[in-house]
Structures are given as structure tokens and as C-alpha cells.
Structure 1
Amino acid sequence: MHRTASHAARPSRGSAAKVRQSMETALAWTSPARVLRNVGPKLVPFFKSVGIYFVLVSDQPCILTVCFKCLPIISLIAFILLHGIDYSQERAFSQRILTGLVFSCLGDALLVWPSCFVFGMIMFAIAQIMYTTAFGFKPLNAKLGAFLYLLCAIIIFTLMPGLNGVLKIGVPVYTLLLGTMSWRAISRVQFFEGQWTWNRLCCCIGSICFVISDTMIGFHHFYSPVPYPQITIMLTYYAAQLGIALSAVESKRVKDSVVK
């Protein structure tokens, strides 16, 4: 009776072979060279639109500026759609990344007009929430979280004297949401456990670029002007969104048995 139960619990050779084959296929897909061949052409519009933005965009608030500014993010949205969306309830990662990009695009459009700064910040706050829920809270890495929240507190304390009205609440809340997003993205890269992929590394770098970009925005508006703000802020911002968008490749192709 015990032997029968033990035999039933043991996977068959055929199922074990299928698991190995599935893992090998997933790992082959996530190799940098393989990914470059598969997703590289889909990213060409993004890089072209970034170049167009830096060459042609002006500081004047107008619809044309909105188009040039939003085009790189629209290209990343198209990239995820072309790559494919996983609609299963178990793997909502790519859907949330896509939603975050959509709200980011809305935020980009609103921030073209200084009078819409608060509304743009709300759009980006929703984007940070979507990214955070996509990344999840496992592994926790509480020490990293404590460090990033301390950094957020320093930033808030520094900017607070320059804030007025609703921004005294909005900026601290957004800063904490941004810090949380970065915490969850960085925590997914488990170097010492050997459980990291290039996708997670890109996402980690992207989240750090996001923190740098938005911190520069905060300092530029509420503390002291940042040199060459259009280049420094937008270059790190587009790099951030690219890194986060690339993480959707993993959610579509890599099986749960490999990711865990």
C-alpha cells in the first residue's frame, strides 16, 4: 500500500522529460542572443522615435510636442502588443506592464502643460502601482525596502520646503510609490541565489533610471534647476520605460517552473 502511494507520487519518465524540454526551451528563449534576434526588430520604432524626440521637440506646450514626447512610449506599447499578451489570470504580468505604459503615456501628455502637473503626476502614480503589482512582493528583501524608503524620506525632506498646496501631499505619496516600485523591481534580481534573468536585470536597471529621472524632475521644479533637463530627465526616463517593457518578454515565454 505504501509502495503504491510512493509510486503514484513519483513523476513518470515521460513527464520528467517534458519538464526538462520545457525548461530548456524557456532558457534558450531567454538567452540574450536569442532575445536580440527575436525582439530587436520590434524595438526599432522605439529607438527611432527617441531620436526624433531629441532632434525635433521644442519646449513650447503644443499638440506636436505631445506627439513627439509620447511616441517612444507608444512604440513600447506596440512592442508588447506585437510580442504578445498573456491573458491567463495566473500570469497578468504583461497586462499590468502594458497598463502602466498606457498611464505613463497619458502622464507624458499632461506634463507638457505646466498647469496639468498634478494630473500628470496622478497618471504616473497609477503607472507605478501597476508596475508594483506586476513585480509582486516575493522575494520580500526587507533590508532593501528599508534603505529605499530611507532614501525616499531624504528626498521628501529636501523637497518639502518648495512644495505648495496639494503638492505637499502628492509629491511625498508619489515618491513613496516610486520607491516601492523600484524596491520590488530590484528585489526580483537574485544574484546570489542564481535566480536572475536578463529580463529582470533590465527591469531592475529601468526602475533605477525611473527613480533618477523623477528625482531630477522633483529637484528641477522644487529645489534647484537641473542642467540640461530635457536631455538628462528624458533620456533616463525612456531608458527606464524600455527596461520595464522588456520584462514583459519574460512573462510571456518563461514558464513558472523556471522563474521560481
Structure 2
Amino acid sequence: MGQCFIVRRGGFNEKRKTPDNWVFHQAYTTDGTFIVFESGWYRIFAVGKSGDGASGSGAHGGGSGGTGGIACSLLYLKADEEVPITVNDALSSFGSYLSATAGTTPTGQSGGIAGVAEGGNVSNESGYAGTSGGTGRSSASGDNGSDGLNGGAKGGNCGGNYISNRPHAGGGAGGSRLPALNCPYVSEPYTATFSGGSGGYAGDTHGSAGADASAYPEFIVGPAMVLYGSGSGGGGRSYNNDASGNGGARSKGTPGVVIIEKGVN
């Protein structure tokens, strides 16, 4: 059932019932200006960019990024009103109405910091922090990377069990999933689908490279768009000091976006 909001127009307060249904109207992944084509109710989501993961750092798995925040508002907008849109690597905003900051990208084993949201009259959801990559050890088995928060990606496995003189590296952290309380575009939990990179292992004479983190599908703007979350970390290389063993590559987080829906009866 729709909610009732008080809307101030022309010196008096008018009570308007919000719609029960919403349809996708437009979305921005870069700066722009939204010109209201028809007076009515709009549902707006400001989604902060999710941080990328970190590549494997030595024998240690890379950390995952923090996710952006998500703000949501129901707004009655008048025809021909112009609202500036900001979408960049730090901020997503719909004029002065609502905004969300981006999660950060780590540079090593630790996870990134979550973004926050403000101004939403429906909800302001903070993002989820990134998680840590697994530790590689020279005289013991390495650690698996930590799973992403909120049903995010699975942490990468370590290179294997320790065998004398064959130490194994840590796995990369799984990316965290965006908050999903009110935003229908956020993916369902995906722990079993995506993961951080597995750690490398040491062979008889050479160490192996860490595996790359799983990448999310290409982000395509439209009514069927899917928002995942932060990027995962790459696996660490074997503890062997061999030049052939490099850290695995990170994956990228979901871009920032401002989504505009139109209310329908």
C-alpha cells in the first residue's frame, strides 16, 4: 500500500498518496542533469561505487574492497524541474536530495572501508566493509581468504596443505555484497558463484602464481541491471622466491549509479 507524504506547494501543504508500483525510467553512471518530463512521484536510488579488490601481495592474498552505500527516496517532482546528477569514484548524488559515498579500494591484504548514505527519506544504508586476504607462511599452510560480507563472494583457497620445503600462499578475499534492504537491483547472495583468487603453491623447484579473482558480469544499465558489490582479491604467490610466481589479479567492484523510477498506479 502506498504511503502518504506531505508536499509543500504554493504556500500550503498538500497530502499526496505515493504509488504502489514503480517502473524503471532512467539511470546515470556519469554526471548529468535529470529534467523531469512529467510531474509525479519518483523513486530514486543513489548507489555509491564499490571498491575494487587488491591484487595478491607477495605470498599474501589481496583484500576485497568496501561496498558503496545506498540511499533511497520517494520524491514528488514537478515537470521541467532540473536536478543535477553526480556519479564518480567518490560520490553518487541526486541533487541535494540524497547521496551515497563509495567504498574504498585496498592496496594490500586488509579490506577496504564501506561507504555511507544520507538524505534518503525511505532509507540510508551504509555499505559493507571489505574483508582480508589469507596470510601465506614459509613454514606452515597458508590461510584461505575471508568470505565477503552480506552474502558476497567466497574467499579464495590457500595453495594447499603444507609439505616440508613446499609452503603455500594465502587466498584472496571475497568481495562484499551491496546492502539490499530496499534496492531491488542488488543481486541475490552469490557466495557460491564468485570468489577471490586461490593462493599459489611451491613445487619441486619453482613457485606458482596466485590465481586471479572472479570478475562480475559486464555492468549494463537498464531495467534488468544487477548490482553486485566490491571486487575480490587476487591469490598470493608461492612463498618460493621464484620469479615465475606472481600474485593473482584483483577484480573490479560495481560502478556507482543513480537510478530513477517512475511511480505508476
TM-score (norm 2): 0.31
TM-score (norm 1): 0.31
Higher helix share: 1
